[in-house]
Amino acid sequence: MKFRFLVLLLSLAAPLFASREKPVIGLSLDTLKEERWQRDRDTFIDEAKKLGATVIVQSANSDDTRQVRDVESLISRHVDVLVIVPHNGAAMTRAVKSANDAKIPVIAYDRLILNANIDYYLTFDNVKVGEAQGSYAAARLPKDRTARIVRIYGAPTDHNAKLFKLGQDNVLNPLIKAGKVEVVHEDWALDWKPENAKKIMNAAVTKAGRNIDAVVVSNDGTAGGAIQALQEDGLAGKVLVTGQDADLAACQRILRGTQAMTVYKPLKNLAALAARVAVEVASGKKPATTAALDNGSKQVPSIFEKIVTVDKDNLQSTVVADGFHQAEALR
């Protein structure tokens, strides 16, 4: 009993003894629901360990109040640096202020935190993700008549969801203006939940009928929801559906033909980069960056990792060749 108490006490106290050589990183995640975030977390922890750091992970289950509390608790445990994937890039501003007051540097991971004094932003090019989705669909739409599409955006609380839409708009808006494409239904899937995407797709078919050429969906989880709805109507495989993340289930759907494409984001590159940057920042160094992005409060030093468009033709040479999924898992 006494021993267990001592272990508990020591583990709680560990961050208090953090040192620059053995930094403690606080990783605050919005969610672990989508497969990708579990990979992000695992790679991040592995890489941080290799660099001599310890990681304390918190996941907020898509709840802003909880995530603010998570970050405050990491601050009170005196972590050396915070890495945050915000559920809501605007709601996290307050928590970042607390980190600033405690002089703990903050790295925004994959999603930007708006109007806040953050130190780094490490991400994929989210506008390019949207452009990849839009142009994949656009290239395959019927050209002899006005194509009819449904658009399912991500969580309205996620700044990335707006960037994906912006990228899609860059490609689709000129076609819409020219009368070549008609958006027959569009909506935002709250919290990126597949069941919300399914409802949107059901509503689209009820409103616009079965005559739909493509559903431009912003990620694989919500694509899965939309495809379920299409399946119920006997339309799966007949309507082009886009996605993002190269989730295992999505790659399987691509092989089966119910989803046309996904956007592969090599998470190991981003997670390993973030671990390196976090350790350097914790050691008082200034990691090199390649871009700067305005978050409403400052030009945030940023790095954008590359993305890859994936469909059945290059699934093996990208996702499988990279070891992201095993060939056997895709059979």
Q: Coil, strand or helix: which one is 143?
A: coil
Question: Phi and psi dihedrals of 27, rounded to 5?
Answer: -110, 115
What is the rounded distance in angstroms from the CA atom of residue 74 to the CA atom of residue 28? 8
For 304, the enclosing helix (H) or strand (E) is strand 299-305
Supply the minimum distance, in Å, between the C-beta of residue 169 and ligand BGC. Answer: 17
Tell me, rounded to whole angstroms, the distance of Cα 208 from its chain centroid.
30
Supply the minimum distance, in Å, between the C-beta of residue 124 and ligand BGC. Answer: 7
- One-letter amino acid at 47 equals E
To the nearest 10°, the Cα dihedral for 265, 286, 162, 246?
A: 10
Q: Helices in 14-141 by DSSP H: which ranges?
A: 35-50, 64-76, 93-101, 126-139
Specify whether the backbone of 44 is left (phi greater than 0), alpha (psi in -120 to 50) or beta. alpha
- Positive/negative CA dihedral, 258, 263, 267, 268: positive
Give the side-chain half-sphere CA count within 13 A for 182: 10
Supply the minimum distance, in Å, between the C-beta of residue 226 and ligand BGC. Answer: 14
What is the rounded distance in angstroms from the CA atom of residue 166 to the CA atom of residue 171? 9
Structure tokens at 85: 């994937």
The nearer residue to ligand BGC, 36 or 198, going by C-beta atoms, is 36
Supply the minimum distance, in Å, between the C-beta of residue 160 and ligand BGC. Answer: 3
The nearer residue to ligand BGC, 31 or 231, going by C-beta atoms, is 31
The nearer residue to ligand BGC, 80 or 158, going by C-beta atoms, is 158
The nearer residue to ligand BGC, 141 or 196, going by C-beta atoms, is 196
The nearer residue to ligand BGC, 184 or 216, going by C-beta atoms, is 216
The nearer residue to ligand BGC, 82 or 147, going by C-beta atoms, is 82
- One-letter amino acid at 266 equals P
List residues near ligand BGC by CB under 6 A.
34, 36, 110-111, 154, 158, 160, 192, 219, 244-245
Supply the minimum distance, in Å, between the C-beta of residue 93 and ligand BGC. Answer: 17
Cβ distance 214 to 149 under 8 Å?
Answer: yes
Supply the minimum distance, in Å, between the C-beta of residue 10 and ligand BGC. Answer: 35
The nearer residue to ligand BGC, 176 or 248, going by C-beta atoms, is 248
Supply the minimum distance, in Å, between the C-beta of residue 107 and ligand BGC. Answer: 15
